[in-house]
Structure 1
Amino acid sequence: MKKFLSAILFFAAVLASAAGLQVSVDRDTVPENEVFYFTMEFEGSIDGPISLPELSGGDWLTNIRRNGVSILNGKRVNTLSVGIRGTAPGTLVIPAFKVKIDGREEQTQKIEVKVVPLSEMQVDDRAGGSATRLSDAVFGELTLPDKRQTYYVGEAIPMRVTVLALSELQPRLNRLPELTGTSDLVSRSYQWPDGRTSNFAEPDIRQTVQNGKRFIRFDFDTVMRPLKPGKIEPKASLTLSVALPDEQRSRPSFGFGFGFPFSDVEYTTYKVETSSPGAIEIKSLPPAPKDAVNLGLLGRWTLTGGFDRKEAKAGEALSFFLELKGSGTIETLSAPKLAFENMRVFPPEVQKDKPGEIRISYAVVPLKAGEFSKTMKFATFDPATGSYAVHELDLRLPVAPNDLPMTPGYSTGEAAPLSGEAAPAAADPVQSAQHLHRTSPGKTVPLPLIRHALPPAAAIVLLAAIAALVIELAARRKHRMQNDPEFRRVRLLKKEVPKLIARLKNTRSEEEFLQLLSVSVHPLLAEALRLPPGATPSEITAKIEDPALKAFLESVQAAEFMPAAARHKLFSKENVELLSAGLRKYAALFLLFVLAVFPAGAAEKPGAFEQGGAAFAAGDYPAAIRHYREALNDRAPSPHILYNLGEAAYRLGDLPLAKGYFERAHRLAPLDPVITEDLRQVNTALKLPEYDGGAVGRYRDALRPDWYLMIAATALAVLAVAGAVRRKLPPLLTRTALLCAAAVFVLASTAMYFQMHTTYRPERAVVLGSSLELRSLPAASSGSVVAVVSGGSDARILDRNGDFVRIGVNGQDGWVPAEKVMPIF
């Protein structure tokens, strides 16, 4: 009893001594390495600095302070909060220490705070009504969808990282998963819709219910390829931000006596370590068959191939191809270099346009006439059987002699001999160098060269213009046939009506006449009456205005129900003439209607630009780009259409494509502030340096080169006029006009010259896609990778070779596919 009374008296003394100073912490249990706050409440003001005691298992964060003022029972109470971080699990003791307040010395109370690992924090499950540890509320696993534990070197290993978090924790993704134990594996790259490249496909995020609890599920898929044999045990980790239940509250005040103007949730970073799928054994590939060419492919594949023609001529190029279809790892493909007897085989080109399809093409030039025969074997490895599948091709190709002589270069360093002739012996280069006397006067070359070359050049241009006009008219007619249904009807009626009338007049039997009516006459009348395809005979008859023809067609509809004698009366010369006249009449009426309503072949559909605007407004940006491209005239582009293309590409997330279109629009409309600002924003988003041509360059590029050309021409005209009238003007005015005109001419010409060699040079281009490999050779698979450049980079086209161009970017140059760069002009 005495001990109990002593304890009460002790606590009363402590409370009485600390009546002017109260201390507290915002939580009694905190995660390890997470900040919590130690708060002092007092009346008055603190004298001098506070001497904070040392903490065992924790650190004071004096740079994190909070001051506040509140009114309690009519008294002004000040608060001071200081941050603390618990650095080790256990009990963190904040010892009592002395504080001077308004000249009197007060002592705080000792406080104990429990510090636990973050994974051991208790989380209240609102749905289940029970508490659970954070490690049981947020967890994950690394799985192998193929359910295999044995793979081969180079074979694709699909992996999936799955993380589940309680919905109450409001999980947010901080960063993509990180894999460990995969140092001997290489990951596949995935292109995200926003243009980013990642080693994981875009995550699938959805809600799921497990054990009666609602979770947010994150699924990340990737594919790895092992580089060497052995055993691997991959693991994954994922960093999330979660809102613990006691942190889902409004932020406290920050020194002004009021809190944040909006409610927010404090998130805690939590790293999830996933479980491992177990050890995976990586086996070495067995040796490939010696008599087969190893393609390096793993999986189940079928192979077909051969030459693209059944016959060839010596010296004329043809193609040899290998086509593979199936499933498996295509990254390990090794396109072989082939050698055929008496043929020159060029390096291969590889196409992987469709999933599960590979085409390897070789350009081949026969060097000798004869029968080419060869049996080839190609090997692919099937992991399911653990052995190679051998694909055999039996090649046969007759090579005919060529009447034309073969040029040097088809064989390795030597010219092929002429067909049927022996190769001439090589002459001594010293003896062959002889100075011969020319006995013929030869053809004369008229001078001046330009004047005498002008008439034939003009004739060539005129003939080319006529040919271009004919080609243009033919193309327009073809385009109208494809896109203008009314024009097609006109052509059909003009061509088919006379033929059908002739067939009607040559009909010899009742059955043939009735069949011709249903098969040919009814569809042609439907076209002439502008009825939709598939119109019934009743619909056609209802549109006929001629009473006699209408009565005849109604009788034809009831022909199958008539007696044979009555049906035979339908097939008469008078009815054939009546039907022929009706065809002529309604076909002619239709042609007049077309000429009146569609005088110039106007399209019924709205214009491509209007269609692009409608698609843009509906949010269908791929369709908007397609329609705007149709409306764009590449020879005379509109800055407005280019700007719309850039906007549509920007909203799709294709920033390099948007930069290309904005660059084009900006070069054509340099004074448009909207285009200039959007181009600047795209460059900023791509982390590209802004163009800095200095003050001179910025003022120079304010106008286009053609504008400078017109200014220079105007200045030259002023020079000529001022020089011609100089005798009638005051000398000072004449000299001023001449000097100003000369200065303007020089400045405009100089600006135009430097623009055409810098910002407006024709070889300027923009790199498309998220990244681009520069190769040493103009081929998709041969040659080495020189460098990798980021999408949106400024490039300079240096050379062209078929479908490839050589570009220079940031001091590097290499070959890329032509469609991977966008020329500015």
Structure 2
Amino acid sequence: MKVVLGRKTVLSNPLALKVYPPGQLKVSGSGDGADATAVSLDELAFVRGRRLNGDRSVYIGEDVPVEVELWIDEKLRDSRVFWPELNFNQVSFRDFQSANPENPRFSGYPQQRRAVHDGRRYTVHVFRSVIIPLAAGKIAGSVEAKMRLRIPVQKRRRNTTSMWDDDFFDGIFSRAREVDHSVRFDFPDLTVKALPEAPSGAYFLGLLGSWKVEYTTDQQVFRAGNPFTLELKISGNGSSDVLQAPELNLPGFRIYPPEIKRDAGSASIRYAVIPLRAGEATIALNTAVFDLVSEKYQIFKFERKITIDQAQEGVADSGVGQPRIEGAAEQSESVRARDAADKPASNILYLKKISDGGVNLPLYFNNLLWLLILLMIGPLCFLVNEARWLRRERMNSRPALLRRRNALGRRRKILRKLRKAEPEQFNKLVQDEVVPYLNDLLGQPPGTTATELAQKVQNRDLAECLKNSGEAGFMPGTVVPNHDELKKRILRLLKKTVFVWCVLVFATLHGGEMEDAEAAAFNAYDRGDFNAAAEYFRSRLDAQRPNPAILYNLGNALCQSGDLAGSLVCYEKAHLLAPRDNDIIENLNFVRRQLMQPEVGQIRNPYDLLIHIVEMFRPDQWLLVAAAAWSCLWLLATLRRRLGFNRKVFSLLLLLFIFFLALAACSFQFGGKYSGKTAVVMRDATPLLSLPSESSGKIERTIPAGMKVKIIELRRDWVRVRLDRFEGWMKTDGIQALKL
């Protein structure tokens, strides 16, 4: 390199640079000075991997534990290690989210150990994971790891005898440079075999390993219409994440969707089963698991013959105490009518008096007036207060305006004194009250006399009155003509009245006596003619203004007649309109228990408590709460000059919390229960098809009456719904949407 400095040119010595490929950078390994051995980064830091199952082949779905080791020379202290990246084709990884939320593919944070390799001491970081093959054949895999190495800078030894030139300080204040380094390791190919065909007559649970299945029932005596639980208890060694519940096909029984619980080394599957008719029946179920040791299916058989007794007297026939079972032995119309007339009504299924208090649709119409008032009253109060405060500040800064304001405040008092004044006191009252009042009103200096004021008043009549009154006060011999006339003239000139009227509109509510048709419906319900009562309540429904009391009464009549799905729809809609009505909630939970569904309003954890608070009000009522908080925020801004700092901050935070909570609850409800996307299955054993066609669609499963499904798509006479993890098509006449 040529360096020019003035007239002098200097040519530097040549500098040679050597570039190494990635990982081949030479650094000092051992020794000092010229005797140091140069090694590459690939020798100081590398990665190794292995499968803990050895070289044997595996089956589809089998857990294959994998171990990754990062080797780093101990001299590279404080080097930073990152999570390695596993690359396999056609596999899934075991989810370790609960144990390692930072990287769910690995079972936890890496473990460390010390090891010696090729005469060097290394720190080994061990990572563990589990892969699950998804297809048969050869599976290739690799692991890539990135690390940031801190390489110490080798310093030359100084030839000096200074006491400060000590190698001890080089160890404390030594320097190092950071180098990014990537390493890779390729796993040997893994051979994956397909599972043999499952034995006929047995359902494969999807489990691989050493497992044991036991079958139990929670009852020994069985009755028609009484539910019991069939449980599969599974224990052993292996992963239960792939456990699949078998689909039971038991003629003469209603079977509800299973409940699956998975734990480490155990699992359970529970079915709620209801016998439909009395007699002899057989419960048979065969399941299979694949044993990896013997490489064969292990079958667990269950077969039990049971005797189903008749339903208890007064329970199965009521249609209320137990659910109405489709396919059960039907009674004759005469027997059913006789039993309906003889049996007493349930003590909770009583009717309510129907009032005119329906709920308007859309929901925000119910409180629209109050909503607008609350949205406007807060800002209005703030503006009025700010205007008054600005006016007061202007008055305080201008004494003339303050005197005029005080004068206007004394006007009525002066007028009353003038009306009651005697003739001999009139002149003195004018001098003491009227003249100072006019001085303040007109902005004249205090102490201005009546005569001086008369010269500055533009009204001739008022000026003449003041002049005569002033002359009478300072010249006792002067006679003022007609005190009464002077009094009337002054009163007429000073009198100015402003009336402000505020009109308030109050709405009155009135009730009427029960109509004859309504009384007839109540009488029909009391004597057991529930169909007639249901027809009347159904005729009273108003699509634009539904009444929760009518829906509640209709649900009672349908429940008493045995239509539990129809009564559930009525109670659900009534609960949407009146979410805090205890009678509606009690009857809704009563029907839910009959249909083997969870009850509403149950609080088991903080999340349930939050949902309970949100569902205490309708969306329009939450909007009203938000509007009230909005109005209070403006009132707080209005009163901010009168409150202390701590009180202002606390009130502001509380009102903001209520405001945003109300808006969030309103949005949550409009996107959930009030969205109209939830429906109730109205017929028992309704098929869920894979396609919107009865001829080409495959039956995925059957859904009992009363189950809730989520509507995803509408297509002519078909609707696509979701229930748990199942999706399929149903006829639109088989469900009823919970839409207001």
Tell me if TM exceeds 0.5: no
TM range (shorter): 0.3 to 0.5
Rg (Cα) greater in structure: 2
- Tell me: higher relative CO, structure 1 or 2? Use CA pairs within 8 A at least 6 residues apart: 2
Give TM-score, length-normalised by structure 1.
Answer: 0.39
